[in-house]
Each structure stands twice: as C-alpha cells, then as structure tokens.
Amino acid sequence: MAARTGAGRRMSLARQLDVVLGPRSYPIWIGQGLLADSGRWRSVIRGRHVLVVSNETVAPLYLDAVLRGLDGLHSASLVLPDGEQHKSLARCAEVLDALAALKANRDACVIALGGGVIGDLAGFAAACWMRGVDFLQIPTTLLAQVDSSVGGKTGVNLPAGKNLVGAFHQPRGVVIDTDTLATLPPREYRSGLAEVVKYGAIGDAEFFAWLQRNAAALAAREPAALGEAIARSCLHKAGVVARDEREEGERALLNFGHTFGHALETFSGYGQLLHGEAVAIGMVLAAQLSQQLGRAPSRDTQALIALLQALDLPTALPAGSDAEELLRLMYLDKKNLSGHLRLILWRGIGAAEIVPGVADAAIRPVLRAA
C-alpha cells in the first residue's frame, strides 16, 4: 500500500487514530510499509539524540530500516537478549547506560522496536532518564500492536511479580507497521489474539460477535480481518486511556483476566506461558468465578471458551498449578487496596466490572480446577 507525494517520495497509506490526552496526545499510525516511511514518524522526534532499543530476534529483521530513517541524527542502538525474563531492572539499567554513553539530553528520544517486553522496558527507561524523555513505540508483535504500545503503562518485572516496578509514561507516537507481523511465529500471533478477545469481552459485545464470525479468518491471518481487529482494538484502548489515563476507574477493566494471568506467569516462570496465553486462561477463570458468584450466565463463559479455543488459545490452568501459591501471588496485584483483592469480573459478554471483596474461599474452587 503506497502512494507518491508531490516530491515523488513514497508515502505509505496509514490509518491514523489518536490518543487524546491534552498536551500528551499522540498519533497511532496503522498500515503497511510504515517502517520505511520515516517521514511520518520522524516528525515526532524533537531533539538530536535517539536510542533504538530492540532485541536479538527483532533487530536483524527491522533495525536497519529504522536506523535508515534516523539519518542525520545522533543515533545509537542497543540490542538486548530476547525473552520476558529480560524485562528486568538489570536490563533497564543497560538502557540507561546506553543513554549515558550517547550523552543523551532531555530532548532525546528512545525508540522501542519489538514486542511488549521491549516496549515496556524501553518506555520505562525513557520515563527514568533525566526524569523523563520522549519515546516512540514501534511494536512488531500483534500483542504489542493491539495493546502494550498504546496507553503509556511502562515497567519491568521483579522475581516477586509481574510489572511491579513502572511508570505511566505516554509515547509520542505509535507506528504499527502490519508488515512486521509476517515474521511473527504462530504461537506469538495467537497470544496477541487473546488481548483482542479481551476488548470484546469487557465492553463491546458487538465486537465479540464480530470475532466469533471472523475467528477462522483471524486464525488464518487474513489481512482484512487482521487490520480490522488491530484498528478496533487500538480504538477501544485509546478511548479508555483518554478517559482514565492512570487507572483510577474504568481503565482497570483492561485488566480482565490479568489478576489470574499475572499470577500464572509469575508462578510458571517468566516466559513459560506467554502473556496472552496466561490472559486467555485468566479470562476464563474470571468468567467462571463470576458465574459461580451468580453474577453472570454460564452460556457467556461457554462462548468465551469456544472463541478462545477457535483461536487455538489455552482455556484451563496447566497441570501442576498450585492453587494456594496462585492465590498468594494474586495478593501482589496492583489493583488491590489495603490488602484486599479487587478483581475484574463480568456480568457477561461486553460487561466487565470491578469487584472488591471477593473471599478467598470463593476463589479457591476455580483455582483448583486444574
């Protein structure tokens, strides 16, 4: 998808959505060939120093294209090892050291080129460097394109739990080049679909029905269905973030499945269960708990399970899960207040809600179903 500008330079056709946050508003560009179309995204880089952070899998594929777009700037790149276990304070310190080596000033820009791990980590380093510099998200996984690159949640894991250290720090822009998905392994692609399902599950029954109708097309990565799923996901998330940037209310609904999911990720060792896989299981557990509490009908749990299974995602706890340990980990969730759990449950498809005060005794049965 490309067109010629008056100057004869190729401009790819992009759909633009906006995250509206006053002076911190920013564009999300979605389209093909956007990496090479640096004229568009380079416009958000204000200063001279640019650090591109990527990993050893993504860099050989896409780093050159990004560096070409930085011609004339004082740029450097940092290529980190791949994996969720590297979303750590130690790797964040490496990004900060790279910024120091670059002699980056307050008008520097950090570019996150990769999946959600790189986006969260590089974004957090950008939030910390000199108390906050610009960053640009160039997400290359489906999960990062539909979720993590938008909204400004940045951070790293601790051995004690997921995302326990972080900052809200919005990017200056998000560049979603859908061509990058061509190299994404099938399991990673499916993991991203779990967060797409989440949007329908929490607040958009019509989108959920669309996903049911288009599950086969999405599983087959048909471009039209995929483009629609990405755009609708970004639109949903951009709206929620614009209304509740710092998760004081509605934004917590985006955490549907995550209290269970993050506990599972920590329990199973970072990287064993992919984030989207853990969220898929977590959403089913949240639906089952809602049903058990009499808040939601069983047919909606069944519809959720059926859709996730049609997308080849897991829907049950892995064998060997330890219910008591999972429950203990859930008490480290960031939504909790004064030592009490606050869960995201639902009334059914499209109707998630924040529910405080669910007793451990009610939660144990869904955790023991493995």
Beta carbons within 8 Å of 231's beta carbon, 6+ residues apart: 15, 17, 30
Q: Least distance (Å) from ligand LNCXM5UN to the CB of residue 178? A: 20
Strands (E), the chain: 2-4, 10-12, 14-19, 26-31, 49-55, 74-80, 109-114, 134-139, 153-158, 161-168, 173-177, 342-346, 352-356
363 is in an annotated binding site: no
- Tell whether residue 153 is a contact of ligand NAD (CB under 6 A): yes
85 is in an annotated binding site: yes
Residue nearest to ligand LNCXM5UN (CB): 163
55 binds, among ligand LNCXM5UN, ligand NAD, none (CB under 5 to 8 A by kind): ligand NAD
**Alpha helix (H) residue ranges in 129-185:** 142-143
**Alpha helix (H) residue ranges in 47-164:** 59-68, 89-101, 116-128, 142-143
Active site residue 262: yes
- Tell whether residue 77 is a contact of ligand NAD (CB under 6 A): no
82 binds, among ligand NAD, ligand LNCXM5UN, none (CB under 5 to 8 A by kind): ligand NAD
Beta carbons within 8 Å of 351's beta carbon, 6+ residues apart: 203, 205
Strand, coil or helix: 333: coil
Active site residue 237: yes
Active site residue 49: no
Distance between CA atoms of residues 123 and 207, nearest Å: 30
Cβ proximity to ligand LNCXM5UN, 50 vs 283, nearer residue: 283
Distance between CA atoms of residues 73 and 49, nearest Å: 7
87 binds, among ligand NAD, ligand LNCXM5UN, none (CB under 5 to 8 A by kind): ligand NAD
C-alpha radius of gyration, the chain, whole number: 20
| Half-sphere exposure at residue 272, Cβ-oriented, CA atoms within 13 angstroms | 12
Selection from 233, 241, 231 nearest residue 22 by Cα: 241
258 is in an annotated binding site: yes
Q: Which listed range, 15-23, 136-144, 305-313, 348-356, lies at the site for ligand NAD (CB under 6 A)?
A: 136-144
Q: Least distance (Å) from ligand NAD to the CB of residue 174? A: 12
Distance between CA atoms of residues 113 and 138, nearest Å: 5
- Tell whether residue 84 is a contact of ligand NAD (CB under 6 A): yes
**Binding pattern for the stretch 49-68 against ligand NAD, x by CB under 6 A and - elsewhere:** ------x-xx--x-------
Catalytic residue annotation: 131, 153, 195, 237, 247, 251, 255, 258, 262, 275
Residue ranges binding ligand NAD (CB under 6 A): 55, 57-58, 61, 82, 84, 87, 114-118, 120, 140-141, 143-144, 147-148, 151, 153, 162-163, 180, 183-184, 188, 191, 275
